[in-house]
């Protein structure tokens, strides 16, 4: 059991690291646009839109990888239990272990992600506000991943990695 979960955990970490690198590049290329105003959205160049798309795509992919692969893998290895467990229970347990900082932060970013899945072309104010929130609070979300990654790296032996 543990061998599969260890491979899954390493794979999830590698995937998350790729998403983080691409997000960092997009943020660097976009930093001059923020704070973004609703009226400015209509005037973005194709290149700027591509960078925004990359930022959003990688943010959603990162959150998906953390929620479907990273956190469940850590949970199984810490608990030595691979029985089906509701995701909020996994998060709460990892929070108690100090692996996830604050479940409410995860939930905040999950809601923000859900905003991005619904395009609001008729309301650019909502789109601009959501983009500004992601851009302004990015380090908080990145910290969720960093905390989990740091835990794994510091506790590899205890998690069964040789």
What's the pLDDT tens digit per position in 73-104? 999 999 999 999 999 999 999 999 999 989 99
pLDDT score, position 123: 84
Domains in the chain: boundaries: 2-154
CATH of domain 2-154: 1.20.120
Q: What is the pLDDT of residue 160?
A: 84
Burial of 12 (0-12, 13-18, 19+ CB in 10 A): buried
Distance of CA 6 to the CA centre of its chain: 20
Residue of 23, 18, 113, 15 whose CA lies nearest to 70: 15
Q: Are 27 and 84 in contact (CB under 8 A)?
A: no
The pLDDT value given to residue 99: 96
Residue 14: pLDDT band by 50, 70, 90 thresholds? very high
Note the pLDDT of residue 29.
97
Q: Ramachandran region of residue 85, left (φ > 0), alpha (ψ -120 to 50) or beta?
A: beta
Provide the whole-model pTM: 0.94
Q: Is 121 exposed, middle or buried (0-12, 13-18, 19+ CB in 10 A)?
A: exposed
Location of structure tokens 């930022």: 55
pLDDT band at 136 (very low <50, low <70, confident <90, very high): very high
Mean pLDDT value of segment 98-121 = 90
Mean predicted confidence (pLDDT) in 30-51: 94
């Amino acid at each position: 059991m543990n061998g599969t979960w260890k491979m899954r955990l390493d794979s999830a970490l590698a995937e998350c690291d790729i998403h983080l690198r691409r997000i960092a590049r997009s943020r660097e290329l976009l930093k001059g646009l923020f704070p973004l105003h609703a009226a400015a959205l209509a005037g973005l160049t194709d290149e700027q839109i591509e960078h925004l798309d990359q930022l959003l795509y990688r943010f959603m992919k990162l959150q998906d990888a953390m929620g479907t692969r990273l956190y469940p893998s850590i949970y199984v290895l810490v608990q030595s239990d691979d029985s089906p467990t509701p995701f909020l229970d996994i998060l709460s347990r990892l929070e108690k272990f100090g692996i996830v900082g604050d479940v409410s932060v995860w939930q905040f970013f999950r809601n923000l992600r859900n905003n991005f899945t619904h395009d609001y072309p008729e309301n650019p104010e909502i789109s601009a506000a959501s983009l500004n929130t992601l851009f302004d609070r990015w380090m908080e979300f990145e910290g969720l991943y960093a905390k989990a990654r740091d835990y794994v790296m510091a506790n590899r032996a205890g998690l069964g990695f040789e």
